[in-house]
Chains A and B, each alone.
Chain A
Amino acid sequence: MNEPDAQRLTFNTLGKYDWPTMPTDESLKRFGWRVWKYFENDERDPFIADDSLSWANKRRLDYIASPPACAPVTDEMEATFSEWVVDDHPARWLHLVVLPPGDRSGVLQTWAEEYGHPIVEPPPRSALLDRSADFSVPGDDSDSLIVIPRLDSWFLRHQDGLAHVRRLLEQLSVLRRHCLIGCNSWAWQFLNKAVHAGRLVPVGLVPNAFDAVRLEAWLMELAEHDGQSDHVFRLSADGSIIDFNFFAKLSARSLGIPWVAWQLWRRALRVGPGDDRPHQQKFPDEQTMWVSGLDDFALPRQSVNIALLTLHALLIHDSLTADELNLVTPTAEASNLLPSLVEAELVDCADGRYACVPAAYPVIRSALIAAGFPKDVL
């Protein structure tokens, strides 16, 4: 399915993000289900038990839901900035794009690479603690667009770590050259407070939320090859083919963030026990892909405050090493807690850098807001 060309979406201004809501019946069901589970041990038998299903391997997942998880957003970006980029006398030389956290595929970077715009890479974090270091950006000597895809990588929440990002923003605010900055929403909220970043750059732009219709169109399009899908997606709970209601739930659970929805979708896909033996399949005439219940994540029961401080720091910085984490949190216990956060699948580690798992972001966000942490704005 293709996105309708007539409605070519462009970015919204910051604060106008349309948060998807959980359908009322689903909210009531979830509440009732929790109450029921609390008092009742017996569960209704599912159509096919999740225990009997196995995870699909990466190759198969890539075939069904291929990365990167940002194609629709890059399309939106192109629709938003295509005219501005070629305008010699724009109303604003500088634009800010505020994105939800967890963008592993790098929307801005992908878009810049796709259209050949130069990218300004952030300095290494270890160098950011040296206040005297100079990380200048290219000047006015070219009329091409420069892209700073991850402003959140330009600072550490540390008294020595803000100088560079402040200097960078001051340089960019007076630059007479097209410049596009990308920053995640939690980092931008912090920078707004700490260095008054909002006074130096114009109001940010945010992508549109992925509602059920858009999500269904996108995910089904990813599963299609040569114009048709090889798989039939059935719910393991009742054996029915996934419908709009499922995508409405997925949209609400993912907060309308495509990379969160994409990861939740991949995590929900399972292979049946007899799928490699056609005579044992429940639906022998089709290639069934089972969709189990969407993952629920839970915070560790112990050291909740430190866990939340750690997760908040990771969201603001996008990713941190254990040493960097100790620098930006008030307690050294934060890094000690990382293994339990990894085990709870709230955090993952790649090349020694820890980051929040995108699929767990909605749960992390809810927990942080419930604990009173300053929240992001989209």
Chain B
Amino acid sequence: MNQSETQTAGESGPAEQESATNDRDKSGFERLGDEIAEATGLGSNDTGEPKTSVVNEDGSNSDAVQQQANAQSLEQKTVDDGGLTEETTSADTQAEETQEDAVQLINDLQEINFLHIIVIVFLAWFVIWLARRLLPLLAERGPSQARLYILNAVPIIRLATMTVALLWVFPIIFRVNFENFLIIAGGASVAIGFAFKDYVSSLIAGIIAVFERPYRPGDWVKIGDDCGEVRSVGLRSLCLQTASDDLVTVPHTRIWDENISNANNGERTLMCVANFYVHPDHDANAIREALREVAMTSAYLEYGKPVLVMLADEPFATHYKVKAYPFDLRDQFAFISDLTARGKHAIRRAGGKSVAAPLASIATENAH
């Protein structure tokens, strides 16, 4: 069979009619047939013009005969390849479609519902704003027992709201599939690695802080040199209100490499310690009992917690520690002041004498 002859398809043959159909409407099997036909020289030429037909001497159309033979041959080949060919075809098609999808990261602008996104972002912002405004107000005005629970809900609500909003908006903007995920993740990794490393580290630390709870709003914590009550926990940082009423913003990244000392860990109270230094020459039992009664009669005392009076001899004095709990941690300084003022009086009444360390040190040096 002549190659040129095989390339001339019959004008009204079945193969030509099929080639006229749109590729998109063809099944995988049909498209495969086209490809094979193209490879074997069947079908229309590149220009789309009908190929020249050759009439044989016996009057039969040689192209038609050839085409029929080719069609039979193709049919036979297809049957020989069996299911494998069909699977290959299907996989190829899927790959093509995926490739198309992957190339298009973002949905068409016409497909993105911007109003929808604005509503979601506004709702998320409103919920977070409401939680940040309303809950601290409720915590301050409501029962003291519920204060810390209410305050603790703020960062959790914020994180949950932002997560929901993000998961909601993401598929509206992006075409979500595995390839796109890889592309976005790769791009984000580069961006984070170069530009937002510290910020993202703080965000991740903030998320971990919400779940691990090394500190919660209302807790009294010490992070490095910063010590105070946690006023708010944001995604990037937390705010501490110190005893001197300063507001300190501490990034969450501090949790990676610093110890966090939490005095109350979500409870309403915390241990307070009042220190007394008494000249060693005294009746320790009398002073111990007097200091215990000082703690027991404090107006700030939490009844449900123990009161301890501990003493130890230091080189210059006997060191007494009164350990007790106020019923509200916000009273801790008033409580310690109350214990200290009345404790000094009680020590004097019990025959003790308070000493100051510098003077005692001098006295000790002179004695030596």
Contact = CB atoms under 8 A, between A and B. Distances in A.
A, B in one complex: yes
Interface string B279-307: 00000000000100110111111111000
A328 B334 CA distance: 15
Interface stretch (B35-43, B140-148, B230-238): B140-148
Contacts of B144: 370-372
A310 to B, nearest CB: 9
Nearest to B268: A372
Contacts of B297: 157-159, 161-162, 194, 328
What are the nearest 8 A-B pairs in CB distance? A372-B144, A374-B303, A194-B296, A159-B293, A193-B303, A330-B338, A370-B143, A372-B328
Interface in A298-320: 309, 312-313
A344 to B, nearest CB: 19
A287 interface: no
B304 A374 contact: yes
Interface string A182-201: 00000001101110000000
Contact of A312 (B299, B302, B334): B299
Contact of A162 (B145, B293, B342, B346): B293
27 contacts: A157-B297, A158-B297, A159-B290, A159-B293, A159-B297, A159-B342, A160-B349, A192-B303, A193-B301, A194-B293, A194-B296, A309-B299, A312-B299, A329-B299, A330-B299, A330-B300, A330-B334, A330-B338, A369-B143, A370-B143, A371-B328, A372-B144, A372-B145, A372-B327, A372-B328, A373-B327, A374-B304
What bracket does the count of chain B residues touching chain A fall in? 20 to 34
A371 B143 CA distance: 6
Interface residues of A, number: 23
Contacts of A369: 143
A267 B337 CA distance: 42
Contacts of A189: 303
Nearest to A313: B299
A157 B294 CA distance: 10
Nearest to B304: A374
Contacts of A193: 296, 301, 303
A161 B290 CA distance: 12
A329 B300 CA distance: 9
Contacts of B304: 374
Contacts of A309: 299
B333 to A, nearest CB: 12
A309 B298 CA distance: 11
A193 to B, nearest CB: 4
A370 B297 CA distance: 21
Interface in A162-190: 162, 189-190
B340 to A, nearest CB: 11
Nearest to B294: A159
A328 B290 contact: no
Given A159-B290, A330-B338, A374-B301, 14 more contacts: A159-B294, A190-B303, A193-B296, A193-B303, A194-B296, A330-B300, A330-B334, A370-B142, A370-B144, A370-B145, A371-B144, A371-B328, A374-B302, A374-B327
Contacts of A312: 299
Contacts of A313: 299
Contacts of B143: 369-370
Nearest to B342: A159
B228 to A, nearest CB: 20
B293 A157 contact: no
A188 to B, nearest CB: 11
Nearest to A158: B297
Residue of B293, B297, B338 with most chain A CB atoms under a 10 A cut-off: B297
A193 B342 CA distance: 19
A330 B328 contact: no
Nearest to A161: B297
B345 to A, nearest CB: 8
A328 B304 CA distance: 20
A312 B328 CA distance: 15
Contacts of A373: 327
A170 to B, nearest CB: 15
B101 to A, nearest CB: 54
Given A373-B327, A374-B327, A157 B299 contact: yes
Nearest to B346: A159
Interface string B146-186: 00000000000000000000000000000000000000000
A330 B296 contact: no
Interface in A135-172: 157-162
Nearest to A369: B143
Interface string A246-267: 0000000000000000000000
A192 B301 CA distance: 13
Nearest to B345: A159
B264 to A, nearest CB: 13
B347 to A, nearest CB: 11
Contacts of A372: 144-145, 268, 327-328
A161 B346 CA distance: 12
Contacts of A374: 301-304, 327
Contacts of A161: 297
A189 B290 CA distance: 21
Nearest to B327: A372
Contacts of A192: 303
A161 B334 CA distance: 22
A194 B304 CA distance: 11
